[in-house]
Structure formats: C-alpha cells, structure tokens
C-alpha cells in the first residue's frame, strides 16, 4: 500500500486530506463526491480519521478511490489492460508448434507461466507483525466506515475473503461486504450464487465450522483479483501472477488453515458456525438502492494481525458513477477472450455504468442465421456472472460503437418492433429489488441484428402530446420525448401513481398513432430531462415479465416503484442519498467541492 501511495503521488493522482473526519458518513461522503468528478477525480488519503462516537483517533490513514480512473487502473496493473487481454487470447489459442524455433518460443512462454502460481512461504509475513488474540480482539480498532445513514452499521467494503472447500482441495478469493456486528463478529454477505456460499453449503451439510480469513490492503491487485469472474474452483490469485509475472507470496493464517498474501495490511481470521445465521444489512449498495435485511452467516473472529505501518483500504458504493465503473471496465476487457469461448461470434460487449452493469449489456455480434441473437441471449444468461444480466441488446457488425450511446440508440430504434423483444426468466443478483420474488425474475433480450421497417409515428410536440395524455391519464404530471428523429421515439411520462401502470398504458392506446415506446416513472425523485439517471432508475426498477406491455407497435415499460397496486408484496428499498447535514459540514470545512451541476445530475 505504501508503494501504491508513492506511485499515486508521483503521478499526481492522490489528494491528501489532513482535516479531522469521522468514519461515520464524513469520509465516505467525500469519497462519493470525488469519484463523480471528471475522469474519476483523485485517489484520497485521509490521514486524520476519528470515530466521534467512541472518541477514538486512528493511527492509520484510510485510502479510497484508488481504482477510480482509467489511468489509475493501468498504473495499478503496471501495464495496459489490453495487453492482459491479448495474453489471455494467446493462451487460449495456443497451438502445437511447427518447427524448431516455434518450439523454443513456446517453451519460453510456458516456462514463464510458472510464475502465475501462488507460492507458499514458511514462517510469518509482514501482515503478522502485530497480533491481537483472545480478549485483545477488537474490530472497532479498525477504521471501518459507516457509509450511509440507513446502513445497519459499519461495513468492510474492500475485504479480500479467502475460503476453501471442505476437503481443502479448492480455494477461493472473493469480495463480499462484511458488517461489523461487535468487537469479534462479522457478517458474511456471500450471496447464494457465489463460490464461498457453495463452500459454506459443504460445511453446513457436514455439520462443521468453516474457516475464513479476510485480508485488507497489500497490493491493490489482490483486491481486483477478488472481483475476477473466474470459473468455480480456479484460484483468483492466478490472475495476480499472470498480470505481474510474479507469484503471489502467501503465508498461513495463525488460527485458520488458509493462506493469504504476506504483504497485506490487515488479516482478520475466524470461523463460521454453519448452524447459525444473523440478520445482515441494510446497506446502501452499488445498485444505488439499499439492499434489505437478510439472514447471512456470521464469522467469529479468532485473530487480527496487521503490519506495523498499515493503511486501511475502502470504497464507497451508491448511485453511479462509482469506482466499480473503472474496475468493471478492466474486468470486461480482460475477460472478453474467455467469454468468446462460449459465444465465438461475439465481436464486442459493453455494460453501461449507469445501468449498474448487471442491469444492461450491449453486445455486437456476427449473426449467421435466423435466431442467432436469441441463441446468444441463452448463452449469456447461462454463462457465469453474465447469468445475472437482466436486459441485453444485440446488434450486428454494422452497428456503431457500443459506447456511442446516441448513435447506438438511433441504430436500435430504427430497426425495432415489438417482435424484436424476447422475454424470459432466470436467476437475478441477490441485490435486485424489482422482481416479485428474490433471486429470480424476468429478463429482456432485444434482437436488433435484423432490421424491421416501421413507419415513424405522427410526432407531436411535448406540450401538445402532454395535453392529450393528461385527458386520458389524469395522474400524469409531466412528459418528455427522447430520440424523436428515430422510427421509435421514447416518451417518458411521470406519474403520481394511483393504479397499476398497465391501466395507464391501456388508456393511451387511442394515442398510438403518436407513440411508440412509452416509459412510466414516478414524479418523485425523477428528472425527465436527465437521461443518465432515468436509465439508472428504469433498468433497476423493471421486471421484464411483469413490467413490459405491448399493443400493436406501441410498447409500454413500467419504471415506477412497485407497490401492492402491482401485486408487489416485498419491501421496496429507498434510494441511497447523501445526508445533507454532512454535506453542509464538509462544505463549511472547504472539503466538499463537487460542482452543483454534477451533484444534481447524479442525484446525490
């Protein structure tokens, strides 16, 4: 971590905050604003961190937003992201060599691969210089942040969670939020689809306690590796070796059988009683909503060890854009070659940051036959973490760049009819709040590889159209039309909702000559002229099996918050929002300097 700080200083990518700030909301609010700035702002090093509630002043600094720009990502990788992807492609397409020189070249490449495998060291590491055992264990000695006002407590957000299978044959490195319950208990928010949860099932069936070791800090690549979507049973630290050309050097935990990198800053060891669960959350998550209280396994801490000079690494999640925008960019590029092994005709894919990644994927492919795009949809929805994707739009090789949103949307809307849609059902991320039941829900695929000729509607101005809509839907409050020059303009209508949106959609059928795609949102908390946040809201809020309606060429989308009016009986979570008194306090200290237009654009 110290080398990382020195590198960031050298590259003018670090801002040092020496003002006294509280681990309750203040530190995280400042980091949340910083990552919203152009190019992700700076990494932040907080050197004067306190816990006002207990009166504790922490020795160690807190480092945040370390991955929060394209430049910083490549600095931390020590090479271009594209070069890592190229190396994986080369490995996947390695063929038997023809000729002596080719054999020599391949032998050299294979010999270099020996460095990707983690190396176990004897003795202790730098991460075990300071030890806390038995009564000395106290998680409150760590500057663990409380990020949002409604959070269930402080959460470790950049923890590397090391686990192993019951037989010890498989190991896993994952990243899961970890709630601090008290001085020696942590909540394990590993979702049901994750590898650590699969291991937990093994221990639960055997009636045994499960060893877990959590590391914080060290080389930031350890943290990125914890997010890498590798197949089940593949050690994520192999990626560290592949990227750095050096093996991760591991030491054994002092109270569990698990190995961790010897140079991490903190190690929290413990055991999970597989017979006990505890309510975890709520937590303001990267969806921009709070995830609700749910029972999860609990780790009883058996040891805490640290470096003598340590740095606490943390991140902040909430509404986009966030640090995961840049981590996800690196992940998407690096693992593109692996995804192509499942779908060879995939040319490119892109997950827009404001759709929270899993909520929307844009994909370019080479279609070879009728129904090819639908085949791709099934492949995506069955491939590892891609199976969590809710909405997918597929285009052919003639489409514009996927990150040129205006041109991409124009291309899709000029080829779209309701027949382009394919609605299915599948697994969802545990953080999804919109489906009628947790973990499973509707999915929408749009096949824009084939062009359909559709006459555009008879356009009306916003004001004239709204007057006619208002006559049919008295609950309508405002209206705005996007993409008016395409064959399928998008009309967004805000409501003070008193009935199910399907009824509003059916009421608009007489206006179908003037409408194509109609999206309903709540009047509260939505700006009809802010496309960035409307996409965030709508992709979060819809379940395709329930919230998409069709009448002729007109398609309706219900992006409102769901209530019993919609047959929705689960709890609907609140938006993640800054606490205004904290923002005002930071402004008075001259620290909160986010431009007001960005503050409003990203609906902080």
> 388-447, pLDDT tens digit by residue?
899 999 999 999 999 999 999 999 999 999 999 999 999 888 889 999 998 899 999 999
pLDDT band at 106 (very low <50, low <70, confident <90, very high): very low
Segment 547-572 mean pLDDT = 96
> 260-278, pLDDT tens digit by residue?
999 999 999 999 998 999 9
323-448 and 462-566 agree in CATH topology: yes
pLDDT of residue 290: 96
Decide if pLDDT at 105 tops 60: no
pLDDT of residue 85: 85
pLDDT of residue 96: 59
Q: Domain residues of the chain, as ranges?
A: 2-78+117-314, 323-448, 462-566
> 176-190, pLDDT tens digit by residue?
999 999 999 999 998
CATH fold of 323-448 reads UbiD C-terminal domain-like (3.40.1670)
pLDDT of residue 343: 85
Q: The domain 462-566: what is its CATH number?
A: 3.40.1670.10
pLDDT of residue 98: 56
> 49-68, pLDDT tens digit by residue?
999 999 999 999 999 999 99
Decide if pLDDT at 169 tops 50: yes
pTM: 0.93
- 3-class state of residue 53 by DSSP: coil
Helix, strand counts (H, E) of the chain: 18, 31
pLDDT of residue 234: 84
Decide if pLDDT at 386 tops 60: yes
> 306-338, pLDDT tens digit by residue?
999 999 999 999 999 999 999 988 988 888 888
Decide if pLDDT at 345 tops 90: yes
pLDDT band at 230 (very low <50, low <70, confident <90, very high): confident
Measure the CA–CA gap between 303 and 127, rounded to whole angstroms: 12
DSSP state string for 166-227 = TTSS-EEEE---EEEEETTEEEE---TTSHHHHHHHHHHHHT--EEEEEEE-SSHHHHHHTT
Measure the CA–CA gap between 524 and 473, rounded to whole angstroms: 17
Q: The domain 2-78+117-314: what is its CATH number?
A: 2.30.110.10
Query: Would you report the helix, strand and coil content of the chain in percent, each value rounded to 5?
Result: 35, 25, 40
Q: Which two tokens stand for residue 383?
A: 């491939």
């Amino acid at each position: 971590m110290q080398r990382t700080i020195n590198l960031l200083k050298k590259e003018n990518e670090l801002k040092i905050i020496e003002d006294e700030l509280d681990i309750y909301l203040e530190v995280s609010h400042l980091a949340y604003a910083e990552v919203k700035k152009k190019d992700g702002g700076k990494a932040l090093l907080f050197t004067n961190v306190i816990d006002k509630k207990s009166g504790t002043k922490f020795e160690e600094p807190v480092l945040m937003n370390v991955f929060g720009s394209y430049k910083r990502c490549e600095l931390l990788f020590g090479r271009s992201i594209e070069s890592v992807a190229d190396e994986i492609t080369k490995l996947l397409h390695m063929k038997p060599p023809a000729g002596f020189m080719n054999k020599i070249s391949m032998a050299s490449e294979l010999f270099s691969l020996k460095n990707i495998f983690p190396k176990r060291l004897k003795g202790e590491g730098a991460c075990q210089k300071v030890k806390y055992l038995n009564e000395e264990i106290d998680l409150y000695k760590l500057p663990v942040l409380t990020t949002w006002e409604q959070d269930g407590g402080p959460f470790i957000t950049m923890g590397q969670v090391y686990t192993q299978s019951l037989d010890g044959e498989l190991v896993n490195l994952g990243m899961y939020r970890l709630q601090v319950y008290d001085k020696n208990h942590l909540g394990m928010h590993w979702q049901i689809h994750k590898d650590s949860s699969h291991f937990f099932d093994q221990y639960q069936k055997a009636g045994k306690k499960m060893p877990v070791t959590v590391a914080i800090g060290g080389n930031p690549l350890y943290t990125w590796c914890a997010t890498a979507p590798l197949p089940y049973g593949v050690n994520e630290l192999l990626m560290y070796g592949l990227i750095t050309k050096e093996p991760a050097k591991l030491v054994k935990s002092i109270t569990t059988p698990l190995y961790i990198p010897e140079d991490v800053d903190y190690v929290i060891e413990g055991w999970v009683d597989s017979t006990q669960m505890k309510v975890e959350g709520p937590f303001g998550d990267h969806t921009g909503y709070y995830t609700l209280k749910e029972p999860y396994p609990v780790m009883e801490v058996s040891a805490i060890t640290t470096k003598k000079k340590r740095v606490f690494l943390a991140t902040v999640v909430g509404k986009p854009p966030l640090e995961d925008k840049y981590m996800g960019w690196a992940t998407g590029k690096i693992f593109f070659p692996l995804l192509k092994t499942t779908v060879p005709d995939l040319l490119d894919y892109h997950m827009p940051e404001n759709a929270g990644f899993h909520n929307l994927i844009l994909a370019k492919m080479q279609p070879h036959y009728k129904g090819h795009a639908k085949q791709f949809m099934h492949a995506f929805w069955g491939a590892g973490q891609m199976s969590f994707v809710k909405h997918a739009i597929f285009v052919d090789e003639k489409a514009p760049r996927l990150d040129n949103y205006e041109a991409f949307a124009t291309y899709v809307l000029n080829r779209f009819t309701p027949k382009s849609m394919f609605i299915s059902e599948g697994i969802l991320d545990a953080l999804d709040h919109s489906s009628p039941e947790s973990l499973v829900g509707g999915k929408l695929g749009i096949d824009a590889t084939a062009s359909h000729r559709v006459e555009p509607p008879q356009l009306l101005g916003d004001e004239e159209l709204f007057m006619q809509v208002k006559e049919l839907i008295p609950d309508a409050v405002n209206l705005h039309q996007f993409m008016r020059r395409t064959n399928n303009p998008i009309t967004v209508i805000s409501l003070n909702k008193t009935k199910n949106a399907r009824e509003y959609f059916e009421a608009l059928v007489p206006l179908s000559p003037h409408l194509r795609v109609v999206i309903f949102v709540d009047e509260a908390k939505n700006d009809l002229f802010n496309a960035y946040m409307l996409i965030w809201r709508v992709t979060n809020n819809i379940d395709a099996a329930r919230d998409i309606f069709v009448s002729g060429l007109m398609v309706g989308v219900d992006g409102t918050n769901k209530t019993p009016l919609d047959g929705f009986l689960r709890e609907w979570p609140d938006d993640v929002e800054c606490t205004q008194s904290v923002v005002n306090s930071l402004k008075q200290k001259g620290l909160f300097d986010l431009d007001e237009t960005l503050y409003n654009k990203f609906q902080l």
